[in-house]
Structures are given as C-alpha cells and as structure tokens.
Amino acid sequence: MNLPRSQTPPEDPRNLSPARRRRARRALAPLDAAERDAFWNQTAHRAEPSVDFFLFLSLAAIVWAVGLSLDAPALLLLGALLAPMMAPVVGLGLGIVTGSARFFVRVLGGVAVAAVLAFALGALGGAAARLWLPATLQQAPLHAHLGLWHFVALAVVSGWAAVALVRRPAAMVVPGVGLAYEVFLPVVTAGFGLTSGAAHLFPDGLVVFGVHLAWAALCAALGFALLGFRPLTLFGYTLGGMALLIAGVILALVLGVGTAVETQVAIPTPRPTLPAPLPTATSLPAPSATPTSTLTPMPPTPTWTPTPTRTPTPTPTPSPSPSPTPSPTPAYAVVHAPEKYGGVLLRSDAGFNHKIVGRANNGELIQVLGPEKEADGYVWVRVLLLNNGKTGWVLEHLLLMATPSPDW
C-alpha cells in the first residue's frame, strides 16, 4: 500500500501508546490508516496456519473417525473441542476483503493441506471400522448433506471469528469449535465413507466441505469489511467481486437445489398402529360326533340297572387325522430399507432396546413368521433368516411382501 510522504509508516500495535491502544479497543475498527495497516499485518500473521494447527486438527480428525464408526455424537463434539482455532479459515476472508492474492493463496494452501490430512485420517478410521461398523449409521449421513441451518450457523460463527481475530484472539475458541464442526468434519466423513463402504458419504462429504469452506470465507470477509478493512490495491476489488459472484452461486445452489438441501437423514415415519391380525380360522372339518352304537332300551326289568353287555364303544370310523388339515402357506418378504441404511437389524424381541441377533441386507428374502407387535411407536414382526436360520423381530415397514398376504 502506497502511503503519502507526509504519513509515517505503519506502526506495530505493540508499540502504540496506551491511549491509542485503548481507543482502538473501544472502537469497532481501527481509526486511521496507520493503525489499520498495523492491524492488517498483525491479523494476517495470526491467520496463517502453524504446526500446532495441523497437530490439533489431526487429533480432532482421529476422534471424529472413532465417533463416526461408533455412531457417537458425544465423540463428534469432543473432536470439535479438540480442534485448533480456525484462524486460517477466517484468514481466507481477510485475503478476499484486502485483495492480497499472495496471502490468500498461502492461507488457502494451508487449508488444503489440512483438508487432505483430515481426509486421510478419516479414510484410515473407515478402513479400521469395518471390523465393528454397525448395520445402520445415523450420525455420518448428517454431515454429508447441505442444510439451510448449517449456512446460518456458519454465517454467525464466521463473522464472530473475524471480529475475535482482530479484537481478541482468545475469544475465537467458541466460534472456532463451530467452524471446525461445520468445515472439517464433513471432509473426515468423506474419507470415512470412502473406505468403510457406507453409501453416499463419498464424495458428498467433499462437496459439503467445499461449499461450507467457501461460505465461511465469504461471511468472514463481510465481517472484516464491517471492521474497516479495505482492498490494498485495485486488484483487490476484482477479487472481492469474484467472491461476491461465488456467493451468489452458492446461494442459488442452497435455495434452488431442493434435493441437496437436507438437514437430517430420512428417519422412518411411524405408521399408524394396526391391530394385530387375528389368527384366521381355518375351515377344518368339525370333529363329528363319532357314531356310537345307540343304546336301545332294554326290556323293562323290575330294577333298572345298566347292563355292561352293551357299553358304547367307538366303532372304527375315520377319526380326525392330521392328513387332511391344510398347512398355511409360508409368507416371504424382501428387505427394503432406505439405501443409506443398507439393510435391517434383527432383534431378540420387539423394541430398540433389545439385543441385536443378526442383520439382513436390502434385497434379501426372509420368511415372515408373525405375529405383529407394537413397541417404541413402531410395528414389529417376527421373521426367519433363510441363510442362517436365525429368528428375531424387525420393523414391519422396512419389508416388502413377496407372498400375497391379507392386511399387510
């Protein structure tokens, strides 16, 4: 930046007088050009990635990978708390608003290296998780989808982090947790999905990472602009215009592509509880009275006593035998769970709190034993796995009947 000859070079904020320091802290933005340039140099130094940034991000990525494999949201939050302050992400906004291409490329390169490192650690965690991965992942798909409220949260924490980076770097802890959770957790999810075989996590997670990173940088640039930072050269206005154009494209994607905007995984909707089907009365031949020899009246005798000579003995008539009873037709169903789940879990009894005794993949044919039972707001049905002979209970609405059955 070319300064007039009558103006002194930018001063180091550490060498400012106490009165000027207090005045700069009280004001939202630096008051003059010298202070603004001095704060630019100091803020740019804070925003550059350091060795600690990569070390703590690696630790957070490991915790995230474990949390995704165990489907534990508490571990995902712990990883965000262990993540470093996201000063480089906010530094992208500083490079945009000041138009310093060299600084922007340097910070962007550091963020790219951090993303590759997080992706690799997520991939290692996904490969190891194949040994104990649950049948259905609930937390991982949440971080591989775009959602409107994610953009609202990113706008708040990015602007907050920009103000904190200039005024009070120690206050970046809270917005840094939000930035780490929204920006780098999706890239770990993408690497986890690549090696674990979970559907739709890769490359959806990479798309979410790129969109969230661009949105965070643009919101941080707006925060720096409100603080009084301006382009250092004429080229800076061009870079800012390109950033606004990218912001428009991102908003169009978020507001226009409805299929990509999902804030949560499609959770099975509880179906209205159906009364358990009564056992169908099979029209079996009623046990006919066995023709017995009719007791003929005995000749009247002075005293009536039953004579044992003509006791009613059953004649060898056809008695009801198992041969004519029609056996019920076995009912079969096909597993038809949402694609992101990949199948259904077999539990020892109806309800989510019972032990898992097996699983069946989508498209697998199973035998429905019945009857139905309601538990935890869902209708469960007892089934038999044809491949290993295990029996258990599954959610009824995750099955498609292959054998015609009434009231299914």
Model confidence over 284-334: pLDDT tens digits?
444 444 444 444 445 554 444 454 545 555 555 555 555 555 556 788 888
Check pLDDT > 70 for residue 404.
Answer: no
Same domain, 246 and 336: no
Confidence of residue 212 (pLDDT cuts 50, 70, 90): very high
Domain count for the chain, please give it.
Answer: 2
| 335 occurs within a structural domain | yes
Of 53-57, 85-89, 124-128, 313-317, which gets the smallest average pLDDT?
313-317
Check pLDDT > 50 for residue 16.
Answer: yes
Q: Which of 392, 404, 395, 271 is nearest to 343 (CA)?
A: 395
| 34 occurs within a structural domain | no
- The pTM of the full predicted model, rounded to 2 decimals, is 0.56
Check pLDDT > 80 for residue 389.
Answer: yes
HSE at residue 245, side-chain half, CA atoms within 13 A, is 6
- Name the domain boundary from 239, 256, 273: 256
Same domain, 80 and 203: yes
| 123 occurs within a structural domain | yes
Q: 132-191, pLDDT tens digit by residue?
A: 887 788 899 999 989 999 999 999 999 999 999 888 888 899 999 999 999 999 999 999
Q: 217-271, pLDDT tens digit by residue?
A: 999 989 988 887 777 665 555 555 565 556 556 555 655 443 333 333 333 434 4
HSE at residue 407, side-chain half, CA atoms within 13 A, is 11
Contacts 24+ apart (CB under 8 A), 25-30: 25/167, 28/226, 28/227, 28/228, 29/226, 29/227, 29/228, 29/229, 30/228
Q: Which of 205, 210, 211, 194 is nearest to 253 (CA)?
A: 211
Other beta carbons within 10 Å of 136: 18
Helices of type H across 197-280:
204-226, 234-256
| 11 occurs within a structural domain | no
| 265 occurs within a structural domain | no
| 32 occurs within a structural domain | no
Other beta carbons within 10 Å of 374: 15
| 80 occurs within a structural domain | yes
d(CA 186, CA 141): 9
CATH of the domain at 360: 2.30.30.40
Same domain, 195 and 335: no
Q: Which of 152, 153, 161 is nearest to 227 (CA)?
A: 161
How many residues can be counted in the chain?
A: 408
| 41 occurs within a structural domain | no
- Name the domain boundary from 198, 230, 256: 256
Over its C-alpha atoms, the chain yields an Rg (Å, rounded) of 36
Provide the pairing of β-strand 356-361 with 343-347. Answer: antiparallel
Same domain, 200 and 73: yes
Q: How many helices (H) and strands (E) does the chain have?
A: 11, 7
Find all residues with CB under 8 Å of 204, minimum gap 6, and list them.
Answer: 144, 145, 190, 193
Same domain, 88 and 212: yes
- Name the domain boundary from 228, 256, 284: 256
Check pLDDT > 70 for residue 340.
Answer: yes
Our CA angle for 76, 67, 63, nearest 5°, is 75
What mean pLDDT comes out for the span 66-81? Answer: 94
Same domain, 103 and 247: yes
Domain that holds residue 116: 48-256
Q: Which of 156, 157, 169, 160 is nearest to 25 (CA)?
A: 169
Assigned token pair, 150: 């994610």
Same domain, 75 and 212: yes
Same domain, 224 and 351: no
